[in-house]
Chain A
Amino acid sequence: MDPIFLVEAAINGILLGGVLALLALGLNLIFGVLDIVWIAYVDLVMLCMYAVYFFNVAFGWPIWAAGLVSLAAGALLGVGVHLLIISPILTGAPINQLLATGGLLFFLQSAATFLWTTDHKTVRLSLPSYEIAGIFLPATRIIPFAISILAVIALYFFLTRTYIGTAIRAVSQDRDAMSLMGASPQRIYIVTSAVGGLMAGLAGALLIFQYSVHPFFGGQFGPLTFMICVLGGLGNMVGAFIASFIMSEIIAIGGVVISTEMGYVIAFVIFIVMMFVRPGGILAKRE
């Protein structure tokens, strides 16, 4: 095989990894603070992609304005999911929370099928494609990558440099100690869910550059996102960031060398094996 294909696959992997990192960090933030895996997280992204599609294509808004709508929709959805579904069962059995968001996944998928049919919907953008040393780099991939890296940096500063960000990190370290200090975890939960939803909204606005949206979009990226979070260490933001690129490289290169499905199979098998070898994630110290 021409090595240029491998180089191209590796670059595509990095570009995909940027957007996956956004998804994984949003989900991981919620997990770190609330100790809940939102199984329906990527389905919220799917709703945000529909928001971009409708505002851009049907209402004729410019793409950046539709993207802002998607951000707002994501944040609102995040808060909504927390208040309506998670909040009532926060103290219940952990598995019920997992299953409740699983029910949400079902609801969102079928509601989207019901409302908008199973047609694939695309936002048509005419953006240039650059050729460097025989490798094609479409702007539809470079722009989302650049924006998601900026967003990841912004999230980093939000968590480390702001008061509320520090509070969020404190809750994720020790929930009970935070309430003993007189802080209300409920407010932190809502802010976390909103930020997590915001990340979903941004990811939706960026994913629609490259992918068409349909009701089962969540199934395409959902399992992968959970795998990345666990691989990086649930709640570990740096680990999730690195894991996104590992997984996207395996998928991109495996997809070129063998086949798309086998790329995913290899990624999932590596995930399963890693769970046995390093259950705390790639950055965890071995006990």
Chain B
Amino acid sequence: MSRGRLLGGALLLIFAAAPFVPMGGVQQYVLHVAIQIFIWSFIGQAWSLMGRFGLVSLGHGAFLGVGAYTTTLLWNFYSLTPWIGALLAVAASVALAVVLGIPCFRFRVIGHYFALVTLAVGEVIRLLIIAERDWTGGSLGASLKTAGTASGLWTLQFADKRVFYYASLGLFLAGLWVWDRVDRSMARSALEAIGEDETAAASVGIRVTRFKLGITMVSAALTALGGVLYAQYISYVNPDTLSGIGVSLKIVFAVVLGGMYSLMGPLVGTALTTALAEGLRIAFGLKFLGMADTIYGLLLIIFIIFLPSGIYGSIREALRRRTAGVRS
């Protein structure tokens, strides 16, 4: 364990110092990729909080879209600071989670059915954003109004990418902390029992609906925060990139690829898919549109068939088996 901590500390130092390493012209690009990885890993962690307990949601785009659009529209129309906007965004997202969660868990919508209901919710949010085009910009999306000279901490708009780098790194670490807290809590055992067999869990006195609703609310809140930061960074929101089936599946797959049962799985998965997409884009340019995602899709199928616990999860399992072998 101490070796693990040492490695973690070293990695953290590298991450913290990265923006000050002189990289010349590529620095902006490296920072951009790193910010994307941190934000999407954070969203992946939020998803895996539910996914690891068998609550497979295919509609996390709904929470992401609600988060990103709430702050962006409040800023654009009422010049409301994103600090309050983010609070409202999280509140809206949690409210959506409750409205969806209570009937879902009361009526025992589980497994395939839960996946399909959440998928429908994601599509509903996407279609509502498109339908309300008068103020959301419809399928063309909406740009965040620039703060101009007022940019800074109050408006959460920064010209310097380093600020966003640290913000996304901080959020990512906070996500790790939440994941770890859940992992060590009683709720984890309860939720695992629920994931195995709801009736059995209820029969030993576990409050099934309450635990499931709780973890769904936490997951929705974190996903909305990720959406807020992403919208502030990109300063553009679009219904297709922030809600609906496409982005929901992207979140799920990055986590599955990395491993949804492990702390670092979402980071490994997101880093790998981002690196693959960026690498292929640099290597081939836009000439081979879709090439990166083709390889990505193929990898996903192969991984789900041969390594169901993901890359990081499988490596960890293999290491654990080896150390266990040495000891015995």
Cα distance A96–B261 when bound, in Å? 14
Indicate with 1 or 0, residue by residue over A94-113, a CB within 8 angstroms of chain B CB atoms.
Answer: 11101110111111111111
The interface stretch among A60-68, A127-135, A147-155, A222-230 is A222-230
Q: Quick one: closest B residue to A118, CB to CB?
A: B289
- The minimal Cβ–Cβ distance linking B119 to chain A, given in whole angstroms, is 6
- Which residues of B282-328 have CB atoms within 8 Å of chain A's CB atoms? 288-294, 296-298, 300-301, 303-305, 308
The answer on a CB contact under 8 Å between B294 and A272 is no
With A96-B304, A223-B120, A261-B127 given, is the CB distance from A106 to B289 under 8 Å? no
Report if B54 contacts A (CB, 8 A): yes
- Asked if B103 contacts A106 (CB within 8 A), the reply is no
B123 and A268 contacting across the interface, CB-CB below 8 Å = yes
Closest chain-B Cβ to A116's Cβ sits at a distance in Å of 9
Residue of B nearest to A112 (CB): B290
Tell me which residues from 243 to 287 in chain A have a Cβ below 8 Å from any Cβ of chain B: 259, 261-262, 264-265, 268-269, 271-272, 275-276, 279
Q: Given A95-B56, A114-B291, A215-B290, decide whether A223 and B245 contact each other with a Cβ distance below 8 A.
A: yes
Partner of A272, one of B117, B127, B288: B117
B39 is an interface residue with CB less than 8 A from chain A: no
The distance in angstroms between the C-alpha atoms of A120 and B265, with both chains bound, is: 38
Given known A-B contacts A114-B288, A268-B124, A94 and B111 have beta carbons under 8 A apart? yes
Please measure, in the bound complex, the distance between the C-alpha atom of A213 and the C-alpha atom of B246, giving whole angstroms.
Answer: 18
Asked if A93 is at the interface of the complex by the 8 Å CB criterion, the answer is: yes
Q: Does B116 lie within 8 Å of A89, measured CB to CB? A: no
A114 to chain B, nearest CB (A): 4
CA distance A216 to B108 in the complex (A): 33
A85 within 8 A of B: yes
Among listed B20-28, B158-166, B248-256, interface-contacting one: B248-256
Instruction: Report chain A residues within 8 Å CB of B263.
Output: none
* Cβ A117 vs Cβ B289 within 8 A: yes
Instruction: Give Cα distance in the complex from A272 to B130, angstroms.
Output: 20
Of A108, A222, A262, A265, the contact of B297 (CB 8 Å cutoff): A108
- Do A230 and B245 have beta carbons less than 8 Å apart? no
Closest Cβ neighbor of A277 among chain B residues: B107
Instruction: Tell me if B127 and A106 are in contact (CB < 8 A).
Output: no
The answer to whether A264 and B304 touch across the interface, beta carbons within 8 angstroms, is no
- Kindly list chain B residues whose C-beta atoms are within 8 Å of the C-beta of A3: none
> Given that A102-B252, A223-B245, A279-B109 are known contacts, is A107 also in contact with B300, CB under 8 Å in the complex?
yes
How many Å lie between the Cα of A261 and that of B85 in the bound state?
Answer: 27
Given contact pairs A95-B115, A98-B56, A98-B115, A264 touches B121 in the complex (Cβ within 8 A): no
Complex contacts, A112 vs chain B, CB 8 Å = 290
Give Cα A196 to B57, complex, Å. Answer: 26
A107 with B297, Cβ < 8 A, contacts A99-B256, A113-B289 known: yes
Do most interface residues of chain A lie in helix, strand or loop, or is the interface mixed? helix
Quote the shortest CB–CB distance from A124 to chain B (angstroms): 26
- Of B104, B107, B112, B297, the residue contacting A234 (CB under 8 A) is B112
The answer to whether B123 and A275 touch across the interface, beta carbons within 8 angstroms, is no
A88 at the binding interface (Cβ < 8 Å): yes
Considering the chains assembled together, what is the distance between the CA atoms of A219 and B61 in angstroms? 15
Distance from B128 Cβ to chain A, minimum over Cβ atoms (Å): 6
CA distance A265 to B129 in the complex (A): 11
Is B131 a contact of A265 with CB atoms below 8 Å?
yes
Closest Cβ of chain A to B155, distance in Å, is: 32
A92 in the interface (beta carbon within 8 A): yes
User: How far apart are A251's CB and chain B's nearest CB, in angstroms?
Assistant: 11
Expressed in whole angstroms, the Cα–Cα distance for A109 and B130 within the complex equals 22
> Are A113's CB and B290's CB within 8 A?
yes
Contacts of B304 in A (CB 8 A): 89, 96, 99-100, 103
> Shortest CB–CB separation between residue B148 and chain A, in angstroms?
34
Decide yes or no whether A37 CB sits under 8 A from chain B.
yes
CA distance A259 to B123 in the complex (A): 16
Q: A95-B54, A265-B127 are in contact. Are A85 and B293 (CB under 8 A)?
A: no
Residue of B54, B56, B301 near A85 (CB, 8 A) is: B301
- On whether the beta carbons of A104 and B293 are closer than 8 Å, the reply is no
Decide: A226 and B119 in contact? CB cutoff 8 A: yes
Contacts of B288 in A (CB 8 A): 114
**CA of A219 to CA of B123 in the docked complex: distance in angstroms?**
10
Q: Report the 3 A-B pairs with minimum CB-CB distance, sorted nearest first.
A: A107-B297, A113-B290, A110-B293
> Which residues of A come within 8 Å of B, CB atoms?
37, 85, 88-89, 92-96, 98-100, 102-115, 117-118, 215, 219, 222-223, 226-227, 230, 234, 259, 261-262, 264-265, 268-269, 271-272, 275-276, 279
**Further 7 A-B residue pairs, CB within 8 A, beyond A106-B249, A106-B296, A113-B293:** A106-B253, A110-B291, A110-B294, A222-B245, A223-B120, A268-B127, A276-B107
